[in-house]
Structure 1
Amino acid sequence: MPPEQPSEQPAAPSGPWRASSTFVMGAVGLLCGGFLRALSKSEAHGMDKFLELLDERSDVEGRERGLITVSNHVSVLDDPLIWGILPLSYLFQPDNLRWGLGSYDLCFTNKGLSTFFTLGQVLPTHRSAHSPHGGLFQPTITQAIRLLCRGPFVRADVPHEKLHRSLRSPDISDPFSDGHMSFSTNGIDNFPSPSAYFSRRHAWVHIFPEGMIHQKEDRTMRYFKWGVSRLILESDPLPDIVPIWIEGPEHVMDEARTFPRFLPRPFHNVSITFGDKLDGEKAFGDLRKRWKQMRANEEKKSGTLEVGVLNDALKYSEEAVELRKECTMRVRRAVLDVRRSRGYPDEDPKGGLAETWKREGPKREGPKADGSWTKDA
C-alpha cells in the first residue's frame, strides 16, 4: 500500500505554478515542433510504441513505476528539440513529460533563467569540470532517483509531529526535514523539490549519459558516465527504460557554425528513433539484486538510509564501483542496439571505455584530432 499523505504536504504544486509550467513546457514544445515540421525534414521511428507507454502513464495515480529514457548527445538543442516530435496533445501535460538534467553554470546563472528552466522541468546539475559540487553523488541525482520512485518518502514509524526532526540527510536539504518543499545543490541556493509532490511520483527522467556533446561524422558515442547507473540501481521499483537514438541536431547546431551562433540552422534532416522498452529484469535484475544486498548489509551496520542517500561504502567500495561500471556499459549497449537498427556498423568496443577518450588530450571542448567536436552542455 502507498504511504498516506501527511496533512501538511500538498499533492501538487500551486495552481499558478502548474499553469506556468504547463505554459513553458507547451510553448517550448510548440516552437520545437514547428521547427521540426516546417523548417526541417523530421522523421520518428518506433514512436507509436513510445506513445502507448506515455498513454499508460497518463494517470498519475495508476502509475506503477518510473520511466528513464537515455540517448546519445549531439547538440546543445537536443533537449528540448527532440521532444517537439511528440504530438501536440502531449506537449501540454507536464505531469507526463520528461524531467531533464541541466548544467547549473549555463541554465541557472540568474533568477530569470532559474525560473524558466525550473518551470521547464530541468534539474540544476553541477558539472565536475566547472564546480566543486558536481559528481555522482550531488543532491540533484538524489532528486532524480526520488522522482522515479513513489513518493513522498515518509517513514511510517515516525509520528507526524516528529517528522521534520527525523529525516536528516548528509547529502541533501530534504523538504521534509526542514519543513519546506525545497532542496539545495550546494548548501546556499534553494530550489523547489519536485520529488516532494504526489503528482510527480514515478516520473519520467531523460538523461544524456555521455555528459557532453559529441559530434563525429561516423556518429560514434563517447563513454557513458555513471549517473544513469544510480537511477537504475537505486530506484524502486525498477523503472521502465527506453533507449533512443538521435541524428540531425548536430547539423542544426553544428559546433563549427559561425555567426549567428545562437540561431539553429533550418532545412536539415532530423531523425529520432525510439527503441523498444527494455526487459528490465533481464537486463539489470542481477545487478539490482546485488545492489539491494549490499544496501541491506550496510543498513544493518549504520541504520536505515533514505531513498537516494548513500554511505561511504555504497559510494566508493570496489563492489559498488564495479556494479555502476557494468550497469552503465549495459545501458550504452542498449543505445548502440538502436544505433545499429539505423544501419550503422558496430563501433570499436573500446569506445565505451573512459580510458580510450584520454587520447583527446586535456582540452575538453572544440575540434579533436579524430575529426570530432566536443562541448560541455
Structure 2
Amino acid sequence: MAKSKLWEWPFSTTLHRKKDNRLSGRLVQLLVFSMAKLWTSRPITKKVIYNGTSFQTLIENRIKETQKKGCNTKPLITIVNHQSCIDDPLVWGVLSKWRHVFAGQFRWIPVAAEFCFTNRLYSFMFSNGRCVPVLRGLGVYQQGVDFCIDKLNEGQWVSIFPEGKINIEQTRRLKWGVGRLIAECNTLPDVIPIWVLGMNDVLPNKRPYIPQIRQTVAAYVGDPIQLKEVLARAKDEALDPMATRKLITDCIESEFWKVKEQAISQHKQWLQCNRTVT
C-alpha cells in the first residue's frame, strides 16, 4: 500500500489486538461516546429513533455471546448514509447505550487518511477511537480494507459510509468496498442499514463549521439485509471477485435506497404530528 508522507500505519500487524484492548483505547472510546451522548441529549439536540429496539437487541445479544464464549462469532456491518462530518460518532450517541461501550461493543470505521491521520496526535486519537485509515482512489485492495476484513473475521463490528463521501440529496452509486467486506467474511455477517436525517443541521457543510444546538436528528434502523441467496448465486455461477463484489453491492444498494424512502416517509409523518401537537 502506498503511504502518504503525512501519516504512518497506526496499527501493529502483530499486536493490534493487544493495542485495541489497552487502556488508552478504552479511554478514547469512552471520551468519543461521551461527547456523542452529550450532544444528542436534550436540550442540545432532539433525537427521534425509528426501529431502534432491533439494533439495541442485536448489540445486547452480542454482549451476551461475548460473556458466554469470550468473543463474538458473527461479524456485524452497519451501513450508514453520510450527511456531515459529525455523522459518526453522533449516530451512536442516538442509538447506542453506555452499557454497549463498556462491554466493548464499539465500532471500527474506515476514514479518510488524508484528513484524520495527518499528525501524531490525530493518529493517536483516531486509531484509539477505532478509526481505520483508507486512501481515497486506491481501490478496494488496500491495507485499511484488509484490516477491516480481519476485524470482521474476528467477529467484530465495522461501520461504513458506503457512498464514500458526504452526500445530502443525490442518489449515488455505492462503493464496491462494501461488497469486498462481505464477500471475504468467513461467516456471513449481520448487515444493518441505517439512515440518518438532520446531521447536516447539527454541523452544516459550509464555513464556518460551527455545531448548532436545538436541532432534530432522526435515525431509522432498517431490517437486516439478506445476502445468503446472493452469495449462493455468486458461488453457483463461479463469479470472479470483481463480479461478486458488484453483485453484493448492487443488492446492498437496492435495499439501502428502500431504507432511505422509509426513513423519510416516517420522519415526515412524525414532523406533521409534532407540528399538530405544538
Task: Please name the residue that 1:50 is paired with.
Answer: 55
Secondary structure at 2:102 match in 1: coil
Q: Give 1:285's match in structure 2, choosing from 226, 232, 238.
A: 232
Alpha-carbon deviation of 1:88? 2.0
Residue 354 of structure 1 corresponds to none
Aligned to 2:250: 329
Contact kept? 1:226, 1:324, Cα under 8 Å: yes
The one-letter code matched in structure 2 to 1:140 is: G
Where do 1:206-245 residues align within 5 Å?
206-216=159-169, 220-245=170-195
Paired residues of 2:174 and 2:253 also in contact (CA < 8 A): yes
Distance in 1, Cα, partners of 2:16 & 2:88: 28
1:29–1:114 Cα change, 3 Å: same
Which residues of structure 2 form unaligned runs of 5+?
Answer: 1-13, 267-278
Measured at CA, do residues 137 and 12 of structure 1 come closer, stay the same or move farther in structure 2, by a change above 3 Å? closer
Q: Is 1:34 aligned to 2:38, yes or no?
A: yes
CA-CA distance at 1:227 after TM superposition: 0.3
CA distance in 1, matches of 2:258, 2:48: 19
Give the whole-Å Cα distance in 2 for the aligned partners of 1:14 and 1:233: 27
Deviations 1:253-302 (A, max 9, x none): 2213x33x2x3111111011111222331454323x258x56xxxxxxxx
Does the CA-based 8 Å contact 2:19-2:25 persist in structure 1?
no
Seen in structure 2, the aligned counterparts of structure 1 residues 232 and 203 have a Cα distance that, compared at 3 Å, is same
| Contact 1:74–1:214, Cα closer than 8 Å, also in 2 | yes
CA contact (8 A) 1:247 1:271 kept: yes
Give the Cα–Cα distance (whole angstroms) in 1 for the partners of residues 101 and 231 of structure 2: 31
C-alpha deviation, 1:326, in angstroms:
2.2
Other-structure match for 1:87: 97
Matched, 1:204 2:209: no
SS in structure 2 opposite 1:278?
A: coil
Structure 1 length-normalised TM: 0.61
Q: Which residue of 1 aligns with 2:72?
A: 63
- In structure 2, how many angstroms separate the alpha carbons of the residues matched to 1:14 and 1:212? 29
Q: Quote the Cα distance in structure 1 between the aligned partners of 2:214 and 2:26.
A: 29
Cα distance change on mapping 1:271 and 1:80 into 2, 3 Å: same
1:268 aligns with 2:215: yes
In structure 1, how many angstroms separate the alpha carbons of the residues matched to 2:72 and 2:97? 21
Look up the equivalent residue of 2:220 and give its one-letter code.
T
Distance in 2 between the 1:283 and 1:74 partners?
29
The Cα of 1:72 is off from its aligned counterpart by 1.1
Q: Which residue of 2 aligns with 1:110?
A: 119
Distance 2:178 2:78 in 1: 10
Deviation for aligned residue 1:228 = 0.2
Higher Cα radius of gyration: 1
Q: Structure 1: which 5+ residue stretches go unaligned?
A: 1-8, 129-133, 150-200, 295-318, 346-377
Normalised TM-score (structure 2): 0.82
CA distance in 2, matches of 1:324, 1:10: 30
Change (3 A) 1:141 1:37: same
Q: When you count helix as a share of all residues, which structure comes out higher? A: 2
C-alpha separation in 1, matches of 2:184 and 2:19:
29
d(CA) in 2 for partners of 1:241, 1:43:
22
1:145 aligns with 2:149: yes
**Aligned 8 A contact 2:230 2:247 in 1:** no
Please say if 1:124 is aligned against 2:133.
yes
Q: Percent identical across equivalent pairs?
A: 28
Moved over 3 A (4+): 9-12, 282-285
Cα pair 2:76 2:190 within 8 Å, conserved: yes
CA RMSD of aligned residues (A): 2.3
